[in-house]
Structure 1
Amino acid sequence: MTARLDALDDLKVVNVAEFSEKLAIIAENPAELTQYQQDYLELLQSYEKSLRGDFDGAAVLLESMLARDTAPEIVFRVKALLVNVFAVTRNYRNAFSYLEQVSREVQSVTSTRAKEHGLSVLAYTYNQLSEFDIARFYAQLLINSATSEKALCHGRHHLIESLYGLGQWELFSTNVELSVSHCVNHRELIFANLIRLKYYNYLLLHEQYQQADEYYQSFIDSVAKTNYPFLLAGVLGAAAKNNLALAQYDAAEELARRTLQYSGSSEFSVPVLNAYDVLYQVNHSRRDYNKALEYHIKYTSALKANSDDRFVRQQAYHVAKAEIEVKDQRLALLDKDNELLFLQKNLYEQEVQQNRLIMLLLLLIVALVSFMAYRGMSGRSRFKKMAEYDQLTGISNRYHFNNQARVALDYCELDAKPAALILFDLDYFKNINDQYGHAAGDWALQQVVKTCRNFMRNNDVFGRIGGEEFAVVLPGCHADKAALMAEICRDAIATIDTKGSGYTFPLRASFGVSSSDTSGYQLKQLLADADLAMYKAKQSGRDQVSMYTEELG
């Protein structure tokens, strides 16, 4: 029976339907199984639930197995599977808590199957965390120790992922075809096509669009046969970007829409981001600006959600890691305390008391020093924040904005990337202060900043450089996209409901946009040109966006 369960274990990602059918047959007579076989069966049932998308049910079943006496190799595999289940449901804290346990236990596991599973989970998860050096280490361990062709295929896939993340293109290129052939020859079509997708992205990254299109045609039929939505969405999203680069707009649009169909509930995955970006650019090229704006808003919203999710994931990983380190330190301290007590048990009571008093005094000194150090560090942090950020709106002040903007512009110039600058101020702001008071004016400034930040990327530099004057540096952004961003912000400011201030008054802003194409990469020149454009917007009736051109100079 154990051999039958092992065969099902190998079948689960090759043929999900057949795996579920055969698993149900074995589960009909659990009384015929040994305790180990029953635990193994429950582990496979947890896999089946996760493959069907019932991650909550899988988590409940798996954690119930940890609460009872179970074979060590099964316990290890339960923890490894919980890493995947909790990561998919974005319960990152639990996921990475189990990840740390798996990484500590993997070298001591005696079961080959369990060890291969653990190494695969570690390599995959560290790739998702962008810890590519660690992922490569575990992938290579899996390749070196693999006893099955399936495990070797999985290890090669994880290695390809980490090499791509590290940008080690020579090793990446030489490993792709060998890895694909190996996985195809051993019926691991999903992993073979995941590797092909990574090579497809490599071709797009290096702007080899025609070769990329030919490569896509060579493996898209194999991808379709897998019926794996995540893989299909990834390939179609990349193909949409490729067709856009080849100016094949109709095909790009169709592929983007199919990407969204296969993405399901993945609201901010990379395929979804690719699809929204393609739909925005296609409609922009057709001058259908309403649809372009609609998709650009969806793209920026998904991009922000993706960035927030990555931040939460990284934060949860480091918190879980720190918690386990603290537990280890506590155990080490307890061990030391026990050794100390053992050595002191024959000493006179007076000496014991004296030693305890000395230890207490030392702890008090350490606590006092730690407290003073903490106060000093928090004070420095507070003063640094006060020196760099505007106290009213929370964004960069003029000094900090200038420093951050120059860093961003120098980076763009060095990498030959475009950059743009948006300058805007509020129309008739003095009237608001004069008629309704400075409290209403302060409220208006805070709402404007809060509204505009919703449409900005994480790497955009946003600062208050005057009373009601603001500037935004957009690295990697062309002039037309910056103008569209300014138009979005202008429209959003005009729709702010001012009743929250206690008064009702109009809020409007005039925008000027400059870019590195016409103004270069010097902040001073970009600001000067954007100011000229904003002055033109003011002259033309205010509440509008004006782009700097050489005629304005």
Structure 2
Amino acid sequence: MRLGKGRTLWVAAALACVLAAPAQAQVSPGIDALIEQAEAIKTSQPAKFYDVLERLEKRVEEATPEQRLKLRLLRAHGFLMKGRAEPAIRELRQIQQETDDPEMLFWTGSLLVNTYALTRKFEQGLTTLNDILPLATKVEKKDVRHRGLLVAGLLYNQVGEYMLGEQYANQVLADAPEGRNQCAAGNLVAEAALGLKKAPSEEMIFRTIKVCEDQKEPILGGLTRTYLARKWVEDGKVDQAIELLERYLPTVTATGYPLVISEYHAMLASMYLKLGDIGTAHAHANEAVERGVGMTSLPLVVAYKTLYEIAESRGDSKAALSRYRQYADADKAYLNDVKTRQLAYQIVRQQILQKTQQISMLDQENQVLQLQRTVDQQAAQNTRLIVILLVLLVASIGYWAFKIKRVQLSLKKMAETDALTGICNRHHFTLRAERALAECARNGEQAALIMFDLDHFKNINDRFGHGTGDWALKEVAEASKGFCRRIDVLGRLGGEEFAILMYGCDLRAAARVAEDCRVRLAQIETRETGHVFAITGSFGVTSSMQSGYSLAKLLSHADKQLYRAKHLGRNRVCVHENEHENVRAAGSNVLELPQREGRTEHLGA
């Protein structure tokens, strides 16, 4: 199975089996017995399941409507087991179109969302989830309601919205779930806690592991043990964590799921390396790579990094270089995958906001139409005069509103825009950045600030004139726009100094954007000015995780790193890190990036 590109995709695969169990209904005994048999063996005996499914297909004409619905759901499950996601999606969507029962819509919608999660169609999954979640309060059967809420928690964890994932999983745990649902919910809560950088409760983890073992769910149980091992490592109990993973490695290996097995080996490799057991660490890292080949996953990144550090410790520079390249490629692929999921969430979120605004506008238009109808009825005798007066009034108001609006927009643009580059001036940048930081703080999202200053810009003005300098500033602003999303804020702070506030972006991602921007500036072609000169910039980067949500503090820390980049030789990126993170990351460079021309430096506060 190669659908799994990240930890929670295996949880999705495990939940697919849980979600496929249909609700009970009054059906004829013969076909009902076959349906129950298919349900019991659909994951444990695939060949026999398809045989029973074929027998049911031959008796479809005898089936009641309830039985046919169950058969169609089994058919969709059969498609998924064969890796045929598209037929499964078509079947589930057709069922949704043919029913208006809230419980059935919620149930099939949950299966559809889970299928989208398995096939990495996150935008469709989030859109469908948004459609079915309002139905949860209308679902009387607790088990069906729990499955839908678990799918919501699963998908939000996948796209990095761990607070929402934890919220829906906790809703299930608070409602006395059945064994399998309790196992899945506990796993999602522990995963969300790690994603939020919170220590999960050991009591809750042990309880979840016990439930998963009782329900014979080795995949979810195995994943939950990795959360416990991570907590123990953070608490300094490395030997205890190793003993736990080594004891259950054979059980996890027996499941045959490559990513879970690779996760165990990668974690063991990293732990043994910490203890100085190079040989054992090397063996586990190689096993993790072998199991994880062809996947984009965090275990593969950890395994390659371990192999690189082992080669470096042995003084084998050739092997170290090769392993570092593999580690950098795996890390880049994994981060791109994470960004893709986060972008899907942002896109769907914007679509939902636009839909809400459209509905609000339609409601307002309906209210206006109703009011107009009432006025027309009350003044039927003077209709023509009223219409003429309204037309004149609307035309006059529209004309003056248009004129005033144009003047307002012109003044607003002059007040907010840098006249030379067309981007935000310092005042407008400050206002927009402070609003964005306040929203990030409310939503619990990170934000990052990039400041950069053009190197030797005074020399360009002095040697080639201010016209050439102005051309360079405009080119830099245009190049910088290419690295900004619509939700980001780009501004010219003054002279040759620029800043970018990145919404929902962590320090690592911002450092990468700064590095890409630095390279792009150096590639600006200057021959069209009639002169040949280099345009480079010195960058300072920080984030809300290091500097908080105060714009003044972010600017201060980024500015210090900018001048540090100047001091170190210009044309480089310097990143601000706080002392606590430096201590915790002792012996490794947590934010280390693949190097190109120039440098990326890190400094604790």
Superposed, which structure 2 residues align to 1:456-495 within 5 Å?
Answer: none
CA distance, structure 2, for counterparts of residue 315 and residue 79 of structure 1 = 21
Q: Structure 2: which amino acid aligns with 1:314?
A: Y
Q: Do the aligned partners of residues 448 and 315 (structure 1) sit closer, same or farther apart at CA in structure 2, a change above 3 Å counting? A: closer
Question: How far apart are the structure 1 equivalents of 2:66 and 2:399?
Answer: 50
Q: Report the counterpart of residue 87 of structure 2 in structure 1.
A: 57
Q: Is the 8 A contact 1:244 1:278 kept in 2?
A: yes
Give 2:569's match in structure 1, choosing from 534, 538, 547: 534
Distance in 2 (CA, whole Å) between partners of 1:327 and 1:160 is 38
Structure 1 residues 370 and 73, CA gap change in structure 2 (3 angstroms): farther
Deviation at 1:487, TM superposition (A): 11
1:271 aligned partner: 299
Label 1:448 to 1:299 Cα distance change in 2 as closer, same or farther (>3 A): farther
TM-score by length of 1: 0.66
Partner of 2:27: none
Match of 2:344 in 1: 313
Alpha-carbon distance, 1:476 to partner: 7.7
Distance 1:190 1:394, change over 3 A: farther
**Residue of structure 1 in register with 2:215 after alignment:** 186
Counterpart residue number, 1:33? 63
Q: C-alpha distance in 2, partners of 1:391/1:332?
A: 41
Where 1:53 maps in the other structure, the secondary structure is: coil
Q: 1:175: Cα distance to partner? A: 0.8
Aligned counterpart, 1:417: none
Distance 2:290 2:136 in 1: 39
Post-superposition offset of 1:164: 4.0
Which 10-residue stretch deviates more, 90-99 or 179-188? 90-99
- Which one of 110, 121, 129 corresponds to residue 91 of structure 1? 121
Residues 314-329 of structure 1: matches in 2 within 5 Å? 314-322=345-353, 325-326=356-357, 329=360
Residue 199 of structure 1: how far off its partner (Å): 1.9
Q: Is the 8 A contact 2:421 2:474 kept in 1?
A: no
Matches within 5 A, 1:152-301: 152-166=182-196, 169=199, 172-249=201-278, 251-263=280-292, 266-267=295-296, 269-285=297-313, 286=315, 287-288=317-318, 290-291=321-322, 293-295=324-326, 297-299=328-330, 301=332
253-262 or 95-104, larger mean C-alpha shift: 253-262
Partner of 1:414: none
CA distance in 2, matches of 1:206, 1:309: 32
Structure 2 match to 1:118: 148
Change (3 A) 1:372 1:352: same
**CA positional deviation for 1:180:** 0.8
Deviation at 1:82, TM superposition (A): 1.8
The unaligned stretches of length 5 or more in structure 2 are 1-30, 438-450, 501-505, 541-545, 547-555, 573-596
Partner SS for 1:169: coil
Residue by residue over 1:378-423, the C-alpha shift from the partner in whole angstroms, topping out at 9 and shown as x without a partner, is: 9879966749xx94999999x99xx99xx9xxxxxxxxxxxxx999
Residue 336 of structure 1 deviates from its aligned partner by 6.7
User: How far off is 1:489 after superposition?
Assistant: 10
Deviations 1:434-469 (A, max 9, x none): 69x879977996899799x89xxxx9x999998699
Report deviation, 1:62: 1.9
Q: 1: distance between equivalents of 2:410 and 2:211?
A: 55
Over the aligned positions, Cα root-mean-square deviation in angstroms equals: 6.1
Q: Quote the Cα distance in structure 1 between the aligned partners of 2:352 and 2:267.
A: 34
Residue in structure 1 matched with residue 135 of structure 2 by the alignment = 105
TM-score by length of 2: 0.61
Deviation of 1:244 (Å): 3.9
- Say whether the 8 Å CA contact 2:473–2:496 is kept in structure 1: no
Shift of 1:105: 0.4
Identity of aligned residues (%): 17
Partner amino acid, structure 2, of 1:302 = A
Measured after TM superposition, the shift of residue 33 of structure 1 is 2.4
How far apart are residue 108 of structure 1 and its match?
A: 0.7
> Which of the residues 132, 143, 149 maps onto 2:179?
149
Q: Which amino acid aligns with 1:85?
A: T
Q: Secondary structure of 2:83's partner? A: coil
Residue 139 of structure 1 corresponds to 169
Q: Structure 2 CA distance, aligned partners of 1:295 and 1:466?
A: 42
Summarize deviations over 1:478-501 as a string: whole Å, max 9, x none. Answer: xxxx9x9999999x7899696997
Cα distance in structure 2, aligned partners of 1:200 and 1:228: 19
* More divergent stretch after superposition (365-374 vs 248-257): 365-374
Match of 1:128 among 153, 158, 175: 158
- What residue in structure 1 maps to residue 105 of structure 2? 75
Q: Structure 1, residues 35-63: CA drift from partner, whole Å, max 9, x if none?
A: 32222222222233334433223222222
State the Cα distance separating 1:213 from its structure 2 match. Answer: 1.4
Task: Choose which of 33, 36, 42 in structure 1 pairs with 2:72.
Answer: 42
Q: Which digits, 9 at most, give the CA deviation of each residue in 1:286-331, with x for residues without a partner? A: 4445325523541552254134214312213413532564576478
> Could you tell me which amino acid in structure 1 is paired with residue 204 of structure 2?
N
CA distance in 1, matches of 2:382, 2:223: 65
CA displacement 1:352-387 (0-9 Å, x = unmatched): 969x9899989x989999998999799879966749
Contact 1:129 1:314 (C-alpha < 8 Å) held by counterparts:
yes
Alignment of 1:419-458 (within 5 A): none
Matches within 5 A, 1:359-378: none
- Structure 1: gaps (5+ residues): 408-420, 538-542, 549-553
Corresponding letter in the other structure for 1:220: L
Relative distance call for 1:176 and 1:122 in structure 2 (3 A) is: same
C-alpha distance in structure 2 between counterparts of 1:240 and 1:367, whole Å: 73
Q: Is the 8 A contact 1:423 1:512 kept in 2?
A: yes
Distance in 2 of aligned mates of 1:547 and 1:331: 53
Separation of aligned partners in 2, 1:371 and 1:227: 70
Amino acid paired to 1:182? V
- CA deviations 1:180-208 (Å, max 9, x no partner) are 11111121222212221222233344454
Label 1:184 to 1:330 Cα distance change in 2 as closer, same or farther (>3 A): farther
Q: Closer, same or farther in 2 for the Cα pair 1:165/1:41, shift >3 Å?
A: same
The alpha carbon displacement at 1:225 in A equals 1.7
